[in-house]
Amino acid sequence: MNDLFDGVVYAGIDTDKYKYPIGSGRVTFNNSRSYLRAVAAAFIEIKTMKFTKKVQVDPYLEDSLCSACNVQQGPYFCRELVCFRYYCHSCWHWHHSLDSMQSHKPMMRNAKGVGNSGSGSGGLMLVSNHSRSGN
């Protein structure tokens, strides 16, 4: 990951209680530029001598208020870089009613609060380890 995007300070594979890999991992970046480049890539291909695997790359989602109204919980996240924020149900529909935004797909945390919906097996969740006003 560091070869592709730079700024990687942590990369790990998620495991179950017996330390068996569960098909996902996490990567933490020290700057927003690298983090956003990795999110924008959406998929990366890992090639080794024994296998080639296409891996989905998603931002790590956390509980957050809606970035538009700052009143309600924002369970929907838009990963498109023109948005890249959390929305409540009403604000998602209002903001994404524009023709240019209708193709955006909402992301949501899964029921257990770990990971993202639609990530499937072989996914990486990205964490940015910096302040939004920083890098």
**35-48 residue pLDDT tens:** 999 999 999 998 99
Confidence of residue 107 (pLDDT cuts 50, 70, 90): very high
The larger pLDDT score, comparing residue 124 to residue 8, is at 8
Confidence of residue 118 (pLDDT cuts 50, 70, 90): very low
Domains of the chain: 7-12+27-44+51-62+117-129 (no CATH), 63-108 (4.10.640.40)
The percent of residues in the chain predicted with pLDDT above 70, rounded, is 81
Residue 53 belongs to what H/E stretch? strand 52-59
pLDDT at 58 over 50: yes
Return phi, psi of residue 78, to 5°. Answer: -105, 120
In this prediction the pTM is 0.76
What is the reported pLDDT for 109?
85
Pairing of strands 52-59, 85-87: unpaired
pLDDT at 59 over 60: yes
Side-chain half-sphere exposure of 23, counting CA atoms within 13 A: 7
How far is it, in rounded angstroms, from Cα 99 to Cα 86? 19
Side-chain half-sphere exposure of 56, counting CA atoms within 13 A: 15
What is the reported pLDDT for 74?
97
**Count of residues making up the chain:** 135
The larger pLDDT score, comparing residue 85 to residue 131, is at 85
Report the b/e string of 103-127 with b at 16+ CB within 10 A: ebebbebeeeeebbeebeeebbbbe
* Tokens coding 99: 């023709």
What is the reported pLDDT for 92?
98
pLDDT at 65 over 70: yes
